[in-house]
C-alpha cells in the first residue's frame, strides 16, 4: 500500500498521471481524472450534461453522466485494452464536472450548453461530452462549427434524428435535421451507423442500416466510415441505443436488432484516420440498466474516444 493513493480526482498533483484508487472506493470522476475548472494547458476535457427533458419515450438520461463516471472506475489505472497504453501518460485530461442547467426553464438550456461548450473549446482542448439525451448534441455541434466550420457527422444510433419540427422546440429526434438545415454539418460527407428505424427525411446522409452492420465485419464498417468522411473535420456522436438492448438495456428508446458492444468497439478502434474534433456519448439511462451493463458500455466507448484522441496527438508530437 506504500505507493497507493485515494481520491485521485481531487488530490492528483499532475494531470498526466494514473490513479491508484481501489476500484470500489474514492471520489468518482471520469477515469479518476482531476476535477477542475482550470482550462489551461489541457489536451482534453470531459464534462457532463445531465439533461433529459427532450426524450420522446423513457426519461432518465440526466443520470447518465453519473453512471458513466461510476462505471469508468474499473478503467482508472491500467494500460487500456486494446491500445496497450496508459492514456494519461502523455495526455493532460480533466473532468470539468457538469453543465449547470435550470431544470425549471428548459428554453434556456440550448444557449447555456452552447455558451459553456464555447468556453471549453476556446481553450483549445478536445471536448468529450457525457449526456444526457441526444438533444444536447445540437448546441454542442453549433459550438464546434463556430470553431471548425461545417463538420461531417459520424453518428452511431438506432435512430436517424432527422425529424422536422418548429424552431425552438426541444426534441432529441430532430437535431440532425436542424444541423443540416443550418449548415452546421455537411450531409454529403456525414454517415449514420446502426439505424433500425425510419424517418421521413434522410437529409442526404449516408446510412448504414442495422441489418448491414450485422452482415459486415468491423473492418468493413470502419473502412466505409473512413472512406466516406475522408479528411474532413468531423464530430463523433454515439447514442447508446445503437447497441442491441441485450448490450445496452439502460436507455430511453431501445430498438432490437442492433450490434454487440464488442463489434462496435472494434469499429471505433479503427477510426484513427478520421479528423475527429469532438465527441459525445448520450442516452445512458441507468434506471433501466442491469448490473451497469449500459453504463460500462458507455464508459468504455468514451474511453475509446479519448484513446483515438491520444493516438492523434501522438502522431503530431
Q: Are 131 and 65 in contact (CB under 8 A)?
A: yes
Asked if residue 148 belongs to a known ligand binding site, the reply is: no
Task: Using DSSP, state whether 114 is helix, strand or coil.
Answer: helix
The Cα 93–Cα 275 span in angstroms is 19
- 111-122 burial by CB neighbour count: b if 16+ within 10 A, else e? ebbbebbbebbe
Asked if residue 43 belongs to a known ligand binding site, the reply is: no
The Cα 224–Cα 220 span in angstroms is 6
The string of DSSP codes covering 237-297 is EEEGGGS-TTT--SSSS--SS---HHHHHHHHHT-TTSEEEEEEEE---GGG-STTHHHHH
Q: Which residues pair with 128 in a beta bridge?
A: 46, 279
Asked if residue 198 belongs to a known ligand binding site, the reply is: no
β-pairing verdict for 126-131 and 152-156: unpaired
Looking up cell 471548425, which residue turns up?
148
List phi, psi (to 5°) of 128.
Answer: -110, 120
Asked if residue 76 belongs to a known ligand binding site, the reply is: no
Asked if residue 7 belongs to a known ligand binding site, the reply is: no
Task: Using DSSP, state whether 13 is helix, strand or coil.
Answer: coil
- Tell me which long-range contacts 220-228 makes (C-beta under 8 A, separation of at least 24): 221/193, 221/267, 222/266, 222/267, 222/270, 222/271, 223/270, 224/191, 225/154, 225/191, 225/193, 225/267, 225/271, 225/274, 226/270, 226/271, 226/273, 226/274, 228/189, 228/191
Asked if residue 78 belongs to a known ligand binding site, the reply is: no
- Binding site residue list: 134, 157, 159, 161, 239, 241
- Residues tagged in the binding site annotation for Mn(2+): 134, 157, 159, 161, 239, 241
Amino acid at each position: 500500500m506504500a505507493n497507493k493513493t485515494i481520491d485521485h480526482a481531487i488530490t492528483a498533483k499532475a494531470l498526466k498521471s494514473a490513479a491508484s484508487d481501489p476500484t470500489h472506493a474514492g471520489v468518482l470522476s471520469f477515469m479518476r481524472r482531476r476535477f477542475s475548472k482550470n482550462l489551461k494547458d489541457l489536451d482534453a476535457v470531459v464534462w457532463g450534461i445531465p439533461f433529459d427533458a427532450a426524450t420522446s419515450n423513457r426519461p432518465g438520461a440526466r443520470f447518465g453522466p453519473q453512471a458513466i463516471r461510476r462505471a469508468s472506475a474499473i478503467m482508472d489505472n491500467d494500460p487500456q485494452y486494446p491500445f496497450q497504453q496508459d492514456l494519461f501518460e502523455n495526455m493532460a485530461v480533466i473532468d470539468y464536472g457538469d453543465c449547470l442547467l435550470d431544470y425549471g426553464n428548459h428554453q434556456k438550456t440550448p444557449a447555456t450548453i452552447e455558451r459553456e461548450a464555447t468556453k471549453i473549446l476556446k481553450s483549445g482542448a478536445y471536448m468529450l461530452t457525457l449526456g444526457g439525451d441526444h438533444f444536447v448534441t445540437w448546441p454542442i455541434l453549433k459550438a464546434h462549427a463556430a470553431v471548425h466550420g461545417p463538420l461531417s457527422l459520424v453518428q452511431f444510433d438506432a435512430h436517424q434524428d432527422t425529424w422536422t419540427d418548429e424552431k425552438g422546440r426541444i426534441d432529441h429526434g430532430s437535431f440532425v435535421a436542424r444541423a443540416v438545415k443550418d449548415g452546421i454539418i455537411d450531409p454529403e460527407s456525414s454517415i449514420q451507423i446502426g439505424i433500425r428505424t425510419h424517418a421521413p427525411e434522410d437529409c442526404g446522409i449516408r446510412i448504414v442500416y442495422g441489418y448491414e452492420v450485422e452482415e459486415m465485419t468491423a473492418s468493413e464498417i470502419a473502412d466505409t466510415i473512413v472512406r466516406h468522411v475522408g479528411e474532413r473535420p468531423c464530430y463523433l456522436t454515439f447514442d447508446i441505443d445503437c447497441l442491441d438492448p441485450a448490450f445496452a438495456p439502460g436507455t430511453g428508446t431501445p430498438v432490437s436488432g442492433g450490434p454487440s458492444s464488442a463489434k462496435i468497439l472494434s469499429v471505433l478502434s479503427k477510426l484513427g484516420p478520421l479528423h475527429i474534433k469532438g465527441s459525445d456519448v448520450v442516452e445512458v439511462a441507468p434506471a433501466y440498466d442491469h448490473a451497469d451493463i449500459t453504463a460500462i458500455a458507455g464508459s468504455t466507448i468514451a474511453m475509446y474516444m479519448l484513446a483515438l484522441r491520444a493516438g492523434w496527438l501522438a502522431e503530431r508530437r
